[in-house]
Structure 1
Amino acid sequence: MPARPLSIHPRSVPSSRNSAADLPPVEYRIRPANPGAHLFEVTCTVHAPDPDGQVFSLPAWIPGSYMIREFARNIVRLSAQADGEPCAVDKLDKHTWRAAVPPGTKKVTVDYEVYAWDLSVRSAHLDTTHGFFNGTSVFLAVAGRTDGPCLVTIDKPEAEAFRHWKLITALPPEHGRAGDAHRFGRFRAADYDELIDHPVEMGEFTLARFEAAGVPHDVALTGRHDCDLDRLCADLKRVCEWQIRLFGKPAPVDYYAFLTMVVGDGYGGLEHRASTALICSRADLPWKGMEGLPEGYRTFLGLCSHEYFHTWNVKRIKPAAFTPYDLSRENHTRLLWAFEGFTSYYDDLALVRSGVIGIDDYL
């Protein structure tokens, strides 16, 4: 069969209105209830639920990582209440549940725990040093309401040991703009797709900021490191500004965040609409007094460049097979060469075109 054509989805095109958009927002609350046991506690509240029974599901995969992950396997407990009273919940398949809705019910709330012990960019991780999650791992989709608005409250762990924890995400706060503050609280999303496309990092991370084409960009480093933040920000600024010029100003975002987990030995990245989740070896970060461009640092810059390029290619220039995503099963496409191949071609090319590396280093 011929490959499906690419569909262009510029940020300025609004989503169509439907009944879900006219209903009250779906409300989520997530709390690092027990960091030592790696457990997030989550609630999902639906006002005006489906009278035939409200269906909930968790994605089987995350956009950008094209494998079935079955995130629902990490839900270790789930119960539901209708107007505060316990109600029956049936599990329909491995990632779908239906809560009974008695006549006259005004709201249904589902409470569940998520085991978060995957130190990667595609899932969720929680311990006494930090917390990280993608929405696909923790937020249930509400059948019939995925096109409507969402509100999410993210709580800080309660113990005194976590008093210095802060939070970073490109998800905008309920009041204000993304990146204005790095604190816990209430956040908003236009729909479920936006909700799950903004990863969250919490802990005592190191934070640095630079501007590219007038857009604030934050770099958050979680974990032990000795990074020269001035050097890192200067190099990333050049790469980001070159890519913005390549696709044309203005940038498609008002704020961008590089959420980076620094480990002894690791490498990986996952793109999102206004941020990227990264994992890198601490030896791959620049250090003060560093001369030249060591191979490890060049590799890390190439990773950042790759994920940043996805801000356009895949996030805003999408295969038709992904519009919309069906996160319950595989989405078949023959266009991996376009949205990963093109991006891989440009990641290191952006380093040389922006002047971060020389042509001899590139060749």
Structure 2
Amino acid sequence: MSLPSIFFHVSFIEPQAHYAEITMRIKGLQKPFIDVKMPVWAPGSYLIREYAKNIERFQVYTSSEELIPHEKISKNTWRIYSDNSDIRIRYSVYGFENSVRTNFIDDSHAFLSPVGTFMYVDDCLDYPVQVQIEMPDFWSKISTGLEKSIGLVNTYKAPNFDILFDSPIEIGNQDTWSFDIEGTLHECAMVGGGTYDKHRLTQDIRTIVAEENRIWGSNPNAYYLFITHNYQNSSGGLEHLNSTVLATSRFSYTQETTYKSYLSLIAHEYFHLWNVKRLRPKALGPFDYEAENYTTGLWIMEGFTSYYDNLIIRRCSFYDEKEYLQMLAVDFNTVYNRPGYEIQSAALASHDTWIKQYRPDENSHNTSISYYNKGAMLAAALDLKILAETGGQQRLDDVLKRAYQKFYLIENRGFEEHELMELIHQTTNVDVSEIFQAAHSLEELEYNLYFNKVGYEIVDLNTGLQPLSMGIKTINNDTRIIVKNVDRDSGAWKGGINVDDEIIAANGYRVDPTGRTIDYILTNSKEGDRVSLIVARDGLIKNLNIQLQYSNKKSLIVQRKENATAEERRLGNIWIALDQK
């Protein structure tokens, strides 16, 4: 018996007003009623986004255009009362949010995030689906990872809704070009102009893909699409099964620092082709599109990927050793200069991503960390420990390749964290339990135990300097000094400074917009001295008395260890890609 068919028609009657018109045809499904639903989140971006808020003018018709009764029974569910085997649902989608995970439609192009565009029939996610796109006359191209339907114009198909929801669609006049890399056809779709050099970018992508193919052993895709949205100033990315959506500045390509950051973003999102899209925790697929999908393992999926993105750029020789070590040090500084690292573990940050990672507030740095940065630190420890204890014969690369083969290619299932830890031991004969335990603990690893074994060390340049601090971060807002962050347990924290306070005067001096007044006071004071502040809070003047403390901010660098042994230097050369094994 053939499955019922589901067909979408997408058109753009008013793109300048940011609307897409959707017709959903459900044929061959005969029930007393049908519930159709809109996803509430996008896989890879762990936040309930309530895509149903952008749905308007929902109506249901028979094939003869007779209205069918329906009612909305939850925030994202419409119940249709009909046993008709051929119904048409029509609705409009509003899209005007520039991001890699939400719809954006205007008269220049349309970017469709499928989870925010297409509804699904309850309990029918495994049904095949087709999408036909009717473009305005002034658009000419469609870029998507969906497979084309033979014999139908601008029509694409997916074997199920999981594939549809994982295949973003770019429609407009994007600049596109294709190239083959080791048997996989790759396409670039550039939106919004930009100063990119197609030849250079193509060659650099080739280099990145070849290195990632080497790590994982094989590429699962025959086709892969890079959609890049070029803005005046933006950054970000979101992975998909055979595509990615990237955001960058249209001027980033002509500046070496920002261009290398874009290449690192490519390396990051492409790495996800394996790590998270296929090798994944059990909780991350099949997905529940209506609720949070909890896992403590994002420190592995995003953290490992964050470790590898810059390492791959180093291996490809885009970063020299100094540049790479500076990028690695960013992860350590980011974590250790947030008081939240003493509050939240990497595993808890993963679990709480739904309520913290994408909803930062003025106190977030005091209560949380990013599993991207902390996961990268833990991945570095794993890589270095495996390298050192196997004499450079194995490293984290080998573990990931083995895990991909076992859990995805052979068993086709998600893994539990303890299974990955056990697989590392089986593959390398190295016990890494202390690193996995550290991911679930507030106890910090002594990272130099790992770096020293390969001839490197982490050094805090602030050691012994002991500068004074009030424990605040401020911005200059139209010549007004406004408090934006207050560090936990700092003098400002204990003395009652609030975020959004305007600092007017300190110790009887009017505070100047450049911050020189406060700098002078800090430079000419000692620990325990008090600073008298006049602040404006919600239009009221307040006098505060703040006790100065030594700053605990770190300035960490990763550098070669001067007294490293020949064996440590050899291992370090393997790690830093000076001597590939």
TM-score by length of 1: 0.86
Aligned to 1:357: 319
SS of 1:224's equivalent in the other structure is coil
- Structure 1 segments, 4+ long, off by >3 Å, are none
Contact kept, 8 Å, 2:54 with 2:95, in 1: the verdict is yes
Q: 1:256 aligns with which of 205, 211, 224?
A: 224
Aligned to 2:267: 305
Q: Which ranges of structure 2 fall in alignment gaps of 5 or more residues?
A: 326-581
Deviation at 1:115, TM superposition (A): 0.2
Is 1:43 equivalent to 2:6 in the alignment?
no
Deviation at 1:144, TM superposition (A): 2.9
Q: Distance in 2 between matches of 1:86 and 1:42?
A: 17
Deviation at 1:174, TM superposition (A): 0.8
> How many percent of aligned residue pairs carry the same amino acid?
35
Contact kept, 8 Å, 1:49 with 1:108, in 2: the verdict is no
Aligned to 1:94: 75
Q: 2:176 aligns with which of 207, 210, 216?
A: 207
Deviation at 1:188, TM superposition (A): 0.6
Q: Which ranges of structure 1 fall in alignment gaps of 5 or more residues?
A: 1-18, 177-182, 287-292
Q: Distance in 2 between matches of 1:266 and 1:77?
A: 33
Contact kept, 8 Å, 2:62 with 2:88, in 1: the verdict is yes
SS of 2:90's equivalent in the other structure is strand
Aligned to 1:3: none
Give the 5 Å matches for 1:278-289: 278-286=246-254
Q: Distance in 2 between matches of 1:324 and 1:215?
A: 26
Is 1:243 equivalent to 2:200 in the alignment?
no
Q: Distance in 2 between matches of 1:273 and 1:132?
A: 17
Deviation at 1:184, TM superposition (A): 6.2
Q: 1:80 aligns with which of 56, 60, 63?
A: 60
Q: Distance in 2 between matches of 1:227 and 1:333?
A: 38
Deviation at 1:143, TM superposition (A): 1.6
Aligned to 1:11: none
Instruction: For residues 56-76 of structure 1, give each alpha carbon's deviation from its aligned partner in whole angstroms, at most 9, with x where no partner exists.
Output: 001000000000100000002
Deviation at 1:24, TM superposition (A): 2.9
Distance verdict in 2 for CA 1:184–1:263, change over 3 Å:
farther
Q: Distance in 2 between matches of 1:184 and 1:351?
A: 40
Q: Distance in 1 between matches of 2:171 and 2:158?
A: 19
Q: CA RMSD in A?
A: 1.6
Q: Whose radius of gyration is greater, 1 or 2?
A: 2
Q: 1:334 aligns with which of 288, 296, 299?
A: 296
Instruction: For residues 9-57 of structure 1, give each alpha carbon's deviation from its aligned partner in whole angstroms, at most 9, with x where no partner exists.
Output: xxxxxxxxxx8xx313211111122111110000111112342211100
Is 1:170 equivalent to 2:148 in the alignment?
no
- The letter of the residue matching 2:229 is M
Contact kept, 8 Å, 1:123 with 1:134, in 2: the verdict is yes
Deviation at 1:256, TM superposition (A): 0.5
Q: Which has the higher contact order (CA 8 A, sep 6+)?
A: 1
Instruction: For residues 190-237 of structure 1, give each alpha carbon's deviation from its aligned partner in whole angstroms, at most 9, with x where no partner exists.
Output: 000001111011111111222221211111111122211111111111
Is 1:324 equivalent to 2:324 in the alignment?
no
TM-score by length of 2: 0.54
Q: 2:196 aligns with which of 227, 241, 257?
A: 227
Contact kept, 8 Å, 1:166 with 1:184, in 2: the verdict is no
SS of 2:67's equivalent in the other structure is strand
Give the 5 Å matches for 1:96-175: 96-102=77-83, 105-157=84-136, 160=137, 162=138, 164-175=139-150
Q: Distance in 2 between matches of 1:353 and 1:70?
A: 41
Is 1:192 equivalent to 2:161 in the alignment?
yes
Is 1:28 equivalent to 2:39 in the alignment?
no
Q: Distance in 2 between matches of 1:30 and 1:123?
A: 16
Distance verdict in 2 for CA 1:246–1:43, change over 3 Å:
same
Contact kept, 8 Å, 2:30 with 2:85, in 1: the verdict is no
Contact kept, 8 Å, 2:188 with 2:226, in 1: the verdict is yes
Aligned to 2:401: none
Q: Distance in 1 between matches of 2:264 and 2:226?
A: 13
Q: Distance in 1 between matches of 2:150 and 2:277?
A: 25
Q: Distance in 2 between matches of 1:169 and 1:209?
A: 13
Point out the structure with the larger helix share: 2
SS of 1:66's equivalent in the other structure is coil
Q: Distance in 1 between matches of 2:27 and 2:246?
A: 36
- The letter of the residue matching 1:306 is H
- What is the aligned residue count? 324
Q: Distance in 2 between matches of 1:228 and 1:278?
A: 17
Contact kept, 8 Å, 1:258 with 1:278, in 2: the verdict is yes
Aligned to 1:289: none
Instruction: For residues 226-257 of structure 1, give each alpha carbon's deviation from its aligned partner in whole angstroms, at most 9, with x where no partner exists.
Output: 211111111111001110111002x1100001
Is 1:71 equivalent to 2:46 in the alignment?
no
- The letter of the residue matching 1:229 is K
